[in-house]
Chain A
Amino acid sequence: MRPGDPFGRPGRLLGLLIPLLLLVWWQLSAGGGGTVLPPPSKVLQVLLHPGRDLLASGSILWSVSVSISRIVLGFICAVAAGVPVGLAMGGSRFYRRLLSVIVEMARPLSAIALLPLSMIIFRGDSLADLMGLRSLRYGRHILNELGLGMVFILFWGGVFPVILGTMQGVRSVRRMHLEVARVLGASRLHRFLHVMVPSALPDIFHGLRLGIGRCWMVIIAAEMLPGTNSGIGYLLRYSYQLSRYDVMLACVVVIAVIGAFFSKGLEALGERSLLLRSRER
């Protein structure tokens, strides 16, 4: 038992306590009249049959796969652009001056604000169209579902935390380490790649976690684009419009669980860099 913690050593499952209590409260309150929210048992029915088609819009499984593919693609774009931009802005005053105004101006624009723009620029085109895979268009294929506009919206949602985290990481590199590297004969490039970047890794991973979280937040907006027929965000909105609150709540649960899973996964990936740096300080 740790002396500072009056509850002793917390178990790994402690985090599930509050969700469980909420579930119990929800089940108890849903039975009584006045509310039209279905009880958790009804939502569970939906979740227990993830392969069943819902509202002629595809099953939960299909919707989730489609949304994950969209998010992963958008997030990869966000990382591919955000990390280099963050490194440049953190490492060089020139790039910081050059880019900070545009980044600060672009950052508050929410994904929803960009829907019309994205619609006009990307039309209904999907990744399959971009890759010239016209033959894939027949039938349901995941590449048909990867709308370029959606990827853009998701990219937008994820890129700013990545830029800012990376920049923050590079800027917080310890002067001492840079000086040591310099007297040990490392060139500017070598110092950048072998001192700044590894130093910044924990902050970069923090940015990535925030970024993927934002992607899960904007998936609903992304799937509001014309030409969308599936996806967990689409299903959520569509079921709400048809008063299918059981399906809607199932979508909420799925997004919450998978979103947390993604964030935790990135955390685990970044754990080592974080561990080493925090020990050192």
Chain B
Amino acid sequence: MLSRASLPLAFSILMLVVLACGGDGPPGEASAAEDTTRVSEGPDIHAEAPLLKVGHCRHDHHSAVFIAQARGEEMREEHGIYLEPLGEAFYALMEDGEKVAELEFVPSPGAMNIPNNMVSGQFELGFGGVIPFAASADQGTGIRIVAPMHTGGDMLVVPADSPVEDWEGFLEWVEESREPVVVGYKSPKAVALLIFESALENAGVAYSYHGNEQPGSKVVLFNAQGLGNLNPSLQNGTIDAYIANNPSCALAEDSGIGRCIAELEDLPPGEFQDHPCCAIAATSEVLEEKPGEVESALRLFAAATDWINANPEAAAETVAEALGNPVEVELASMATSGYDWRPTDAWYEDMNAIVCNMRELGTFSGPLTEPAWEENLDLITDFSHLPPEN
């Protein structure tokens, strides 16, 4: 009888404890803030400043975030713009010894959802893929890419025990195989797929899609619906190879599942050198209301990007720690990525190709249905807030 009566009681106590623990998230902020005041005597990091919410993924394409968060001291010395931690997710953005903004970092579970999260107001500045950003702009959300951030990093991966060594070897394998070679991709809107298709066409390999396979196809492309599904699918033989961005390829090598045999942008015809992958986008509201703070934030991430390129090993260490990946994986992965905040000619060209491809796939229903590149570009991007190139 006693145990029966005490069970609901115990349950309610448990619930109370859980609620109480959940409730004291913010106080942790205060203690972290105390620690940091001792480190930096000079500037007042608690001064009032506008808050900027920045969304990103736990992904090494968004390394600039982790570098800015963790390498404040080096950034201060080398670039004069840096972050001081205020708490778990809050940082003071310091420039020329003064706090110019407060940044709150909001992690998002999937790069594909970044524009949706911005639309729903979870953050106003977001790290995400150029394709969802372009799709979102087409729908009149007012979201624009304000800085390129990351390019390349797409690999062709085969099982670890495969004798295939390079692209020529892959083509031979495809030619000789009696059954079509099944190649996985993470999403129909992955840039990797676009590049791989053009490489296959260039090599004269007939291909089609899983679920709509055509007779005579030597390659069947398989939608794995997510980067995370590729390695397990390769391991259990669902697919024979895959194309994807790092770090899943580096992870495959590290765990002995697969081997990277080619970087996709190197494949002939090579039209997609330094193709856009991830970028920073902003909502129209934040560009209107806090342009100064956005510019400061972009200077910060540009500086962090430069720091990555200047200190690749230290950067890989930081990113590996932030993501919980082995350092070797991040070293390999980040080496294949291009970190660049400057919009280059190649960037514009490839972006145009990507938008055209999206149009062919029926993605758009708004202004981007019109193939007018200048106007399209105005709708998709706004690079006026970038720091001057030096």
Contact = CB atoms under 8 A, between A and B. Distances in A.
Interface of A: 36, 53-57, 116, 119-120, 123-124, 137-140, 144-145, 224-230, 238, 240-246
A166 B113 CA distance: 41
B363 A242 contact: yes
A139 to B, nearest CB: 6
A120 B136 CA distance: 34
How many chain B residues sit at the interface, stated as a range, is 35 or more
Interface in B171-229: 182, 184, 187-189, 209-215, 222-226, 229
A225 B222 CA distance: 11
A229 B211 contact: yes
A55 B359 CA distance: 9
A249 B226 CA distance: 23
Given A36-B141, A241-B112, A55 B232 contact: no
Nearest to A246: B365
Contacts of A230: 211
B122 to A, nearest CB: 14
B210 A227 contact: yes
Contacts of A228: 211, 223, 225
Contacts of A124: 182, 210, 222, 233, 238-239
A56 B233 contact: no
Given A56-B361, A119-B233, A242-B363, 20 more contacts: A56-B360, A56-B362, A116-B232, A123-B236, A144-B211, A226-B222, A226-B225, A226-B233, A227-B224, A227-B238, A228-B223, A240-B113, A240-B116, A241-B113, A241-B135, A242-B131, A243-B119, A243-B132, A243-B138, A243-B139
Classify the secondary structure of A's interface with B: loop
B229 A119 contact: yes
B72 interface: no
A244 B131 CA distance: 13
A224 B223 CA distance: 10
A221 to B, nearest CB: 11
A123 B362 contact: no
A242 B189 contact: yes
A226 B224 contact: yes
Contact of A138 (B113, B214, B226, B360): B214
Which one of B210, B211, B226 has the highest number of Cβ atoms from chain A below 10 Å of its Cβ?
B211
Nearest to B129: A241
Given A123-B237, A138-B214, A145-B211, A227 B362 contact: no
5 tightest Cβ-Cβ pairs between the two chains A and B: A226-B224, A243-B136, A241-B112, A123-B238, A56-B361
Contact of B223 (A137, A227, A240, A244): A227
Contacts of B237: 123
Contacts of A36: 119, 139-141
Interface of B: 112-113, 115-116, 119, 131-132, 135-136, 138-141, 182, 184, 187-189, 209-215, 222-226, 229, 232-233, 236-239, 360-363, 365
Contact of A226 (B184, B215, B365): B184
Contacts of B189: 241-242
A34 B29 CA distance: 33
Between B119, B225, B238, B363, the greatest number of chain A beta carbons within 10 A of the residue's beta carbon is seen for B225
16 contacts: A55-B362, A123-B236, A124-B222, A137-B213, A138-B213, A144-B212, A224-B225, A226-B229, A227-B225, A228-B223, A240-B113, A241-B187, A242-B135, A243-B135, A243-B141, A244-B365
A276 to B, nearest CB: 39
A178 B375 CA distance: 79
Contacts of B213: 137-139, 144
A56 B188 CA distance: 9
Contacts of A244: 135, 139, 363, 365
Contacts of A139: 212-214
Nearest to A116: B232
A55 B135 CA distance: 11
A55 B184 CA distance: 20
**Residue in A55, A123, A145, A230 with the greatest tally of chain B CB atoms within 10 Å:** A55
Contacts of A242: 131-132, 135, 189, 363
Most A C-beta atoms less than 10 A away, residue of B131, B187, B189, B212 = B212
A20 B360 CA distance: 36
Contacts of A145: 211
Given A119-B233, A124-B238, A229 B209 contact: yes
A55 B236 CA distance: 30
Nearest to B113: A241
A57 B212 CA distance: 11
Nearest to B180: A137
Contacts of B187: 241
Nearest to A230: B211
A241 B361 CA distance: 14
Nearest to A122: B238
A276 B115 CA distance: 55
A266 B132 CA distance: 40
A246 B362 CA distance: 13
A119 B225 CA distance: 11
Nearest to B187: A241
Contacts of B222: 124, 226-227
A230 B188 CA distance: 12
A140 B116 contact: no
Contacts of B229: 119, 226
B212 A55 contact: no
A245 B141 CA distance: 11
Contacts of B116: 240-241, 243
Nearest to A42: B365
B223 A53 contact: no
A56 B361 CA distance: 5
Nearest to A66: B211
